[in-house]
């Protein structure tokens, strides 16, 4: 078994039980982790009592830690429920679920630590929480390592690697309302027996615009049928159900199940100056806009203006099974404000389709769990795609922008801290091109595919077009030799002048891989996405092209 700290592993596990087997030790470590998570959450709550005496930045760091600690308690509780009676290798999907959760708890602890470090003036807060965070990291690492050794199949099930064709647009949206009432959108017609409440919504929200948008989406995007429990409309002109996105989210049902279908929030065209947060109970939300540069959610929080990186997001989501289609997300703080997140995503099995993410440093925080992005535009400068999710970007456009004077561009900064985490960034069939401001500039700006934010950083580019503006070395170090032997950076079958690997870095962790290795980073294998992406009706390729 491979753990980051074998001596700690031997110390923390009980040795007095002569009849204990590996399943006992695995359950013990998860249960002990659960107990430790409860203690840490109580400690954070204790510090909240000192809130009036803390600086605003420290309060935000404490809020970050509280949210992350609450999520860890949930993740460990769910993990223990799975392993408490399991005495054999788990089915692939069940094992992947728990492996994902145990990977995420380490990410959450690291993020809390990072936020406390950013709030450097709060010495009492930082010193009081750093030691227990360090101990928890060691314990959670043991739980993840034991789980991977004891319950995870040696090889993930490999689904078909053929491309999934878009479905027929003749019937795109099927809505299943409560009390067994149904209605459907077909080509140019609205079926009868639409629930009274939904009917009134459409009358109030200029039904022809709503219907036209939803019907045209099927033709324009090739989306398959999806199931929706209800639809509400957000409109700034007073004709919708709500005038703000946050109001619509607040009124969405809690703890929906997949059998309920999605709760759809249709956000009509407009510029929404809101900081939107989707909490964990708002599961199965489907947020649809009128398209890129039509429906725009914008903010300008940044680390320079007193927000932690985690807290700076214009739009954040932790609720599982979230889908967004046709929306632009912006952080307009600018390059001079450094870390300024447009979207922070910590939602398991989340999907963004034909969306745009616009910022400079740290634009898209793919924070944790399993994520899929298809047909999106991502703009930024330094580390503009970062985080520690297991994430696939497919058919997306990645646009390095003009940074501050003296800065370079790094497209990715992947944050894997533990070799047993099932996380990494996979970039497939994407286009890497300079944004207009960079392309038209006379300045010489170095652009790199990525750099190692954390020790086991993992990023793969495959079957993508790479413009010659990318530095021939491809990748940039973070700080000297840090992580160069432990990272995993790989390229497979890319095109464009910038894809030439003859002058790439010679780090031990860099690889030019073959199709067999590349297949490990596809939607079907890396995310087991064939088991959850189809529900959203999003077209995608399951494997290599």
pLDDT band at 165 (very low <50, low <70, confident <90, very high): very low
pLDDT of residue 197 exceeding 50, the answer is: no
Give pLDDT tens digits for 450-465: 999 999 999 999 999 9
Backbone phi, then psi, for 400, in 5-degree steps? -65, 135
Gap between the Cα atoms of 454 and 48, Å rounded: 29
- Mean pLDDT of the region 4-13: 68
The pLDDT of residue 238? 84
Burial degree of 435 (CB within 10 A; 0-12, 13-18, 19+):
buried
pLDDT band at 200 (very low <50, low <70, confident <90, very high): very low
Backbone phi, then psi, for 134, in 5-degree steps? -65, -45
| Pair 152, 90: CB distance under 8 Å | yes
pLDDT of residue 176 exceeding 80, the answer is: no
Listed range (14-23, 152-161, 167-176) with the worst mean pLDDT: 167-176
Residue 466: enclosing H or E segment and its boundaries? strand 465-466
The 8-class DSSP code of residue 499 comes to G
Give pLDDT tens digits for 469-527: 999 999 999 999 999 999 999 999 999 999 999 999 999 999 999 999 999 999 999 99
Listed range (213-217, 365-369, 386-390) with the worst mean pLDDT: 213-217
- Say what percent of the chain tops pLDDT 90: 74
Three-class SS of residue 52? helix
- Mean pLDDT of the region 409-436: 97
Could you list the beta-strand ranges (E) of 368-438.
Answer: 370-374, 377-380, 382-387, 390-394, 397-400, 409-414, 424-428, 431-432
The pLDDT of residue 304? 96
Residue of 64, 290, 362, 383 with catalytic role? 383
Gap between the Cα atoms of 523 and 156, Å rounded: 12
Active site residue 383: yes
pLDDT band at 86 (very low <50, low <70, confident <90, very high): confident
pLDDT band at 210 (very low <50, low <70, confident <90, very high): low
Residue 149: which residues within 8 A CB-CB, separation 6 or more? Answer: 1, 22, 26
- Mean pLDDT of the region 208-215: 56
CB atoms within 10 A of CB 185: 21
Gap between the Cα atoms of 427 and 373, Å rounded: 10
pLDDT of residue 10 exceeding 70, the answer is: no
Give pLDDT tens digits for 292-316: 999 999 999 999 999 999 999 999 9
Gap between the Cα atoms of 126 and 118, Å rounded: 10
pLDDT band at 154 (very low <50, low <70, confident <90, very high): confident
Gap between the Cα atoms of 456 and 281, Å rounded: 32
pLDDT band at 225 (very low <50, low <70, confident <90, very high): confident
The pLDDT of residue 120? 73
- Mean pLDDT of the region 173-197: 33
pLDDT of residue 245 exceeding 90, the answer is: yes
pLDDT of residue 166 exceeding 50, the answer is: no
pLDDT of residue 204 exceeding 50, the answer is: no
The pLDDT of residue 532? 97
The pLDDT of residue 16? 66
- Mean pLDDT of the region 197-216: 48
Residue predicted with more confidence, 90 or 158: 90
Give pLDDT tens digits for 513-529: 999 999 999 999 999 99
pLDDT of residue 9 exceeding 80, the answer is: no
Which ranges constitute the DSSP H helices of 165-293?
196-204, 207-221, 245-250
- Mean pLDDT of the region 170-190: 34
**Mean of per-residue pLDDT scores for the chain:** 87
pLDDT of residue 222 exceeding 90, the answer is: no
Residue predicted with more confidence, 350 or 131: 350
The pLDDT of residue 11? 57
- Say what percent of the chain tops pLDDT 70: 83
């Amino acid at each position: 078994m491979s753990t980051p700290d074998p001596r700690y592993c031997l110390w923390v596990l009980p040795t007095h039980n002569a009849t204990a087997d590996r399943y006992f030790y695995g359950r013990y470590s998860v249960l002990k982790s659960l107990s430790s998570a409860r203690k840490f959450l109580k400690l954070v709550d204790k510090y909240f009592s000192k809130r009036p005496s803390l600086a605003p930045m420290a309060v935000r760091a404490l809020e970050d830690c509280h949210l992350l600690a609450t999520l860890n308690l949930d993740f460990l509780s769910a993990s223990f429920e799975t392993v408490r009676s399991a005495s054999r290798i788990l089915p692939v999907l069940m094992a992947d679920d728990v492996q994902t959760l145990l990977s995420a708890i380490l990410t959450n602890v690291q993020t809390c630590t990072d936020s406390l470090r950013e709030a450097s003036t709060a010495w009492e807060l930082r010193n009081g929480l750093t030691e227990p965070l360090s101990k928890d990291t060691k314990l959670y690492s043991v739980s993840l390592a034991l789980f991977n050794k004891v319950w995870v199949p040696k090889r993930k099930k490999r689904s078909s690697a053929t491309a999934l064709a878009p479905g027929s647009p003749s019937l795109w949206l099927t809505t299943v309302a409560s009390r067994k009432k149904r209605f459907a959108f077909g080509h140019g017609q609205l079926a009868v027996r639409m629930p009274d409440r939904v009917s009134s919504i459409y009358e109030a929200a200029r039904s022809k615009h709503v219907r036209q948008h939803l019907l045209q989406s099927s033709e324009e995007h090739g989306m398959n049928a999806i199931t929706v429990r209800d639809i509400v409309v957000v409109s700034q002109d007073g004709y919708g159900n709500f005038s703000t996105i946050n109001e619509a989210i607040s009124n969405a049902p809690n703890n929906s199940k997949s059998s309920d279908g999605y709760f759809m929030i249709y956000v009509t065209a407009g510029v929404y100056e809101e900081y939107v947060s989707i909490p964990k109970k708002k599961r199965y939300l489907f947020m649809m806009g009128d398209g890129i540069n039509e429906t725009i959610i914008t903010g300008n929080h940044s680390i320079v203006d007193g927000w932690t990186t985690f807290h700076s997001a214009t739009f954040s989501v932790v609720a599982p099974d979230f889908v967004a289609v046709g929306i632009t997300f912006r952080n307009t703080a600018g390059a001079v404000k450094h870390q300024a997140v447009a979207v922070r995503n910590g939602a398991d099995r989340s999907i963004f389709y034909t969306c745009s993410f616009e910022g400079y440093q740290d634009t898209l925080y793919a924070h944790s769990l399993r994520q899929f992005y298809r047909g999106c535009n991502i703009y930024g400068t330094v580390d503009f795609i970062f985080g520690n999710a297991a994430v696939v970007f497919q058919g997306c456009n990645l646009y390095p922008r003009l940074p501050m004077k003296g800065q370079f561009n790094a497209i990715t900064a992947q944050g894997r801290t533990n070799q047993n985490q099932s996380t990494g960034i996979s970039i497939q069939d994407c286009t890497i091109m300079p944004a207009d401001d960079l392309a038209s500039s006379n300045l010489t700006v170095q652009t790199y595919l990525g750099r190692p934010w954390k020790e086991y950083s993992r990023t793969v580019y495959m079957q993508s077009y790479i413009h010659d503006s990318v530095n021939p070395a491809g990748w940039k170090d973070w700080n000297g030799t840090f992580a160069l032997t432990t990272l995993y950076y790989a390229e497979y079958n890319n095109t464009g002048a910038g894809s030439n690997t003859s002058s790439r870095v010679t780090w031990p962790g860099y690889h030019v891989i073959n199709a067999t290795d590349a297949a490990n980073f596809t939607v079907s294998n890396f995310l087991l996405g064939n088991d959850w992406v189809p529900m959203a009706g999003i077209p995608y390729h399951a494997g290599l092209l």
